Amino acid sequence: MRLTNTPTRYGSVTKTFHWLTVLGIAAAIPLGILANDAPYDTSAELANKAWLFSLHKTVGVTIFFVALLRILWALTQPKPAPLHPDRRAESWLAETVHWLLYGSLVLVPLTGWMHHAATTGFAPIWWPFGQSLPFVPKSTAWADTTAALHIIFERVLIVSIVLHVAGALKHHFVDRDATLRRMWFGGTEAGAAGRGHAKLLPLAAALVIWGAAVGIGNALGVFQHEASAAQVAALQEVDSDWQVQDGTLAITVQQMGSGVTGSFADWTADITFDQQDAPGKTGEVSVTVAIGSLTLGSVTKQAMGADFFNADQFPTARFDADINKVADGYEADGTLTVKDQTVPVVLPFQLTLEGDSAEMQGRLTLDRRDFAIGENMNDESQLGYEVAVEVELTATKGDAADE
């Protein structure tokens, strides 16, 4: 069997690429549906969901590279002549579908890969080359956009596959010609050499269809991020001696052996503080956090659920503490209330004072089990017990903030 194409026959390399792609799509699409619908309420369910997603992503990346190689190979080969060049409309439709298939086989896995790279979370791609992509930042907005494009291009791919298969079956059972046999392994030759394929118009039609699909997806709200069902609590303004001008309240959890970092967008801090050189109490702080404002990579929605933060029933968390000067810095010594659990907490931090401006950086580690978070997740390899908390803020003294 010839490796290369001829004007009347596909070579074995082209056929191998074709059927490898068929097998990849037949695996990737069902895996994606199963993974998306799989529950994750327990450690075993989460492990199964992660396994399904990892397999789906790995197959998808494989399809991406197979598609690229297939396209590069096709560019070097003659394309066997159409069997019915006189049927212009049918030939135009077939070529348009071929363009849609080729393009979608690149766009679907690429946008899925970009979404994976932009998101922190579980279910890695099973390969040794890392999980990131050049020029793709860790960004919720970028992840949402690429996820929407992945869905849209996947729909275009599915419709293209249906049309492609329908056309092949029509040729085989209605026209009774060699279209399908010519793509199967063997020496089938068909078509009149010298009768070429239209290229520019079908390509233009495919581009229009992709553009229309994106427009329809936008009109249907595919690009609108589905926010967590939890409502973000409206926090009251605080009349603090020190006003926070800028700050970050972040947490990092270990899921499936990888760190997932997120932050709370809405929180307030009521701070009283008087600088002194001697060790002892120097002030007080009360922090209220809107739990629903948390973004935590791919597991944000899960984190808001009843088994975790239960943000619907417990929309805020609160930290009340004395600020104490100690030998190597400062400590906020008090209690942290999350859900209905109040736990003693000491937050060590460093403080830099310049006149009426202050910068602080603090870090501590909590045990999620102390707050009844993820009690159904009792396998630490699936979801770590320790949660790292990092706080950074810049504050100015009240009178200076008002100027």
> How far from chain centre, in Å, is Cα 292?
19
Amino acid at 309: F
Length of the chain: 403
Percentage of the chain surpassing pLDDT 70?
A: 95
Mean of per-residue pLDDT scores for the chain: 91
What is the per-residue pLDDT across 283-294, written as a single tens digit (0 to 9) for each?
999 999 999 999
Dihedral sign computed on CA atoms, order 203, 102, 137, 227: positive
Note the pLDDT of residue 70: 96
pLDDT (average), residues 225-242? 78
Residues 6+ apart with CB under 8 A from 186: 1
Domain 242-402 sits in CATH at: 2.40.128.110
Q: Answer whether residue 401 shows pLDDT above 60.
A: no
Q: Answer whether residue 399 shows pLDDT above 70.
A: no
Q: Do domains 12-219 and 242-402 have the same CATH topology?
A: no
Residues 6+ apart with CB under 8 A from 169: 180
Distances (CA, A) of 265 to 234, 289, 291, 363, 383: 12, 9, 9, 18, 23
What is the token pair recorded at 261? 């970092």
Note the pLDDT of residue 57: 97
Note the pLDDT of residue 232: 87
Note the pLDDT of residue 85: 80
pLDDT (average), residues 148-165? 97
Amino acid at 263: S
Residue 91 · residue 82 · CB < 8 Å? yes
Question: Where do the domains of the chain lie?
Answer: 12-219, 242-402
In 10 A of CB 145, how many CB atoms? 17
Which residues are 48's β-sheet partners?
none
In 3-state terms, what secondary structure has residue 28?
helix
Pairwise CA distance, residues 325 & 315, whole Å:
32
**CATH fold group of domain 12-219:** Fumarate Reductase Cytochrome B subunit (1.20.950)
Helices marked H in 119-193: 140-169, 179-183
What is the per-residue pLDDT across 74-129, written as a single tens digit (0 to 9) for each?
999 998 888 888 888 898 999 999 999 999 999 999 999 999 999 887 789 999 99
